[in-house]
Amino acid sequence: MFESLLLISAAFLAGGLNSIAGGGSFLTFPALVYVGLPSVSANATSAVVVFPAYLSGTLGFIPELKSYGLKPLLTLVFISIIGGIAGALLLLVTPNDIFRTIVPYLLLFATALFAFGDKITSFLAARQLMSDTKNNILSLMVTTYGGYFNGGLGIILLSLFSVLGFKDLNLMNGLKNLLSFILSTASIITLSFADVIHWEWAVVMMISATVGGYVGALLARKMSKAFVKQFIVVVGVLMAVAFFVTN
């Protein structure tokens, strides 16, 4: 009963945080590890919990996506599919003890991206890569990271689009949600064949996260995003420290 309440609560809060500022995976992943899932399975299950919101987020930017152009959009979608599969396969060949060892570093990395995302994006925007080949390689690296570990994915994708020379923030957010959904779908399908996803908990947590996302959307206008962002950063650091200690 305690474990069920913990997971439902973590998913609810994660859905709310994602609606307001992002960072929901900082709660779902550690909660799944706490109740006893191996770290690789917890990471895969956490990805399932948070990915449906990417689709609803994409639908809000359909006009911008239509204006982008079919060929470059399909190129990014194709790269996202390959990256999602590659990241999932990389996760599957990573032993649980090794993955648990690197998790705190991934959490700190994702937390730093979340905390300094705006500055990182501005810094990278001034250093655009002009080669299409280099752009595609960079896109593949980012989407592979997303298939391997979901934390901080949104910030990384926004930074990627800045490097690629994007200026329209609505288009960038639309592409961020679309590519996150595509690569997460590819990753989840790949992980499903390996039977590492705890579907019973994943479904329950998805429902809770959906409700939390709706509540979060209602509260978003009343809460300070700066406060929520600071809260998420603190949670990310505490989770990283906890994994360091338990390791």
Question: What is the reported pTM?
Answer: 0.80
Q: What is the pLDDT of residues 102-133, one digit of tens each?
A: 888 887 887 787 777 667 667 766 655 555 67
**Sign of torsion, CA 123 129 132 135?**
negative
Q: How far is CA 33 from CA 38, 52, 158, 160, in A?
A: 6, 21, 28, 30
Tally the domains of the chain. Answer: 1
Residue-by-residue pLDDT tens, the chain, 247 positions: 888 899 999 999 888 777 666 677 888 888 998 898 998 999 999 989 888 877 777 777 888 888 888 888 999 999 999 999 999 999 999 998 898 888 888 878 877 877 776 676 677 666 555 556 777 888 999 999 989 987 778 778 877 887 777 878 788 878 888 898 899 999 999 999 988 999 999 999 999 988 887 787 677 667 676 776 777 778 778 877 877 877 6
Domain that holds residue 120: 2-246
Q: What contacts 24+ positions apart, CB below 8 Å, involve 96-99?
A: 96/38, 96/39, 96/40, 99/39, 99/40, 99/43
Q: What is the pLDDT of residues 199-228, one digit of tens each?
A: 999 999 999 988 887 787 677 667 676 776
